[in-house]
Amino acid sequence: MARNDLIGGALWEEYSTIVQDRMNNPRNLGEITKEEADASGYELIIADFGAESCGDAVRLYWMIDPASDTIKKSKFKSFGCGTAIASSDMMAELCLEKTVDDALKITNIDVEKALRDDPETPAVPGQKMHCSVMAYDVIKKAASQYKNVDMESLETEFIICECARVSLDTVKEVIRLNKLTTVEEITDYTKAGAFCKSCIRPGGHEKKDVYLVDLLEEVLNEMKQEEISKKIKSAKGDGEFDKMGLVQQIKAIESILEEYIRPTLKADGGDVELIDVQKKEDLFDVMIKYQGACMSCSMNSTTTLAGIEDMLKFKLKANVRVMIV
């Protein structure tokens, strides 16, 4: 078949020569029998894992020396596409002579990189990256059987991008530290979403519980609220409201209006402007002016006014009276 012929929707040239070779000539294909393991004094582990998204499945055989937890022999059988065969073959090879704990450190990215012809060119097209994820998952399954624990207990983080093995907490941290604002920037920094793209938004190769677009919006909203809270805290200063200077008092009131009052008013086409703050003995008169739809609203001198006053009293812990000018 020519290099530019199609394989499952991808071009031959998108597969490394190592992948193509391992598709046709897997080195570690086969099985290990109990008789063979018993004769060597080793423990046999047989683990099965299937990918619901594509119907592929892999069976992993480990022959383990229980004295050192070292994998002395590693074989596989794969029921799926050529990429699944190549990935499983490399995965089985990477496990050899490693302890079970060290084998658990092998990620799907390690498998994919081991299949590359050169370090900078992916071994498979993005939509086939899930095949190496399956190889990673079957390692976890085998290790859980050997350790006699639940497979889920070996996964300590929520993985939002299976292809790049990027956790939700990592994406959140990267967004915050680098002030990212787009999914493309997340991909540049973490590789999440760079391969099959299922984790970016609904409608991709696989259905996800959490998508990058939603996570980005969530973190940006959290950061915005945190910034507003910082402004309020900064505006209040170290003293009480009645001990602040006029500028600090105005900033404190503006911050509260911006966070708690204006969003509701703007949703109905209105707004409020802070005109002045005047102190009369132990009472602070806060002068406001309505804007937009609030100017003609029948509740601007009753319910709305009382709501603004109650919020300022609660947040400032001060005797405040709001007045319309």
Catalytic residue, from 95, 131, 163, 294: name it.
Answer: 131
Identify whether 161 is a catalytic site residue. Answer: no
Burial class (CB within 10 angstroms; exposed 0-12, middle 13-18, buried 19+) of 17: exposed
Q: How far apart are CA 166 and CA 259, in angstroms?
A: 33
In sequence order, the 6+-apart residues with CB closer than 8 A to the CB of 160 are: 166, 167, 168, 171, 192, 199, 208, 210, 212, 215
| Catalytic member of 54, 95, 163, 199 | 54
Cα–Cα distance, 99 to 122 (Å, whole number): 28
Separate counts of helices (H) and strands (E) for the chain: 12, 10
Q: How far apart are alpha carbons 217 and 315 in whole angstroms?
A: 27
Closest CA to 48 of 65, 36, 27, 31: 31
196 is catalytic: no
Instruction: Cite the active site residues.
Output: 54, 131
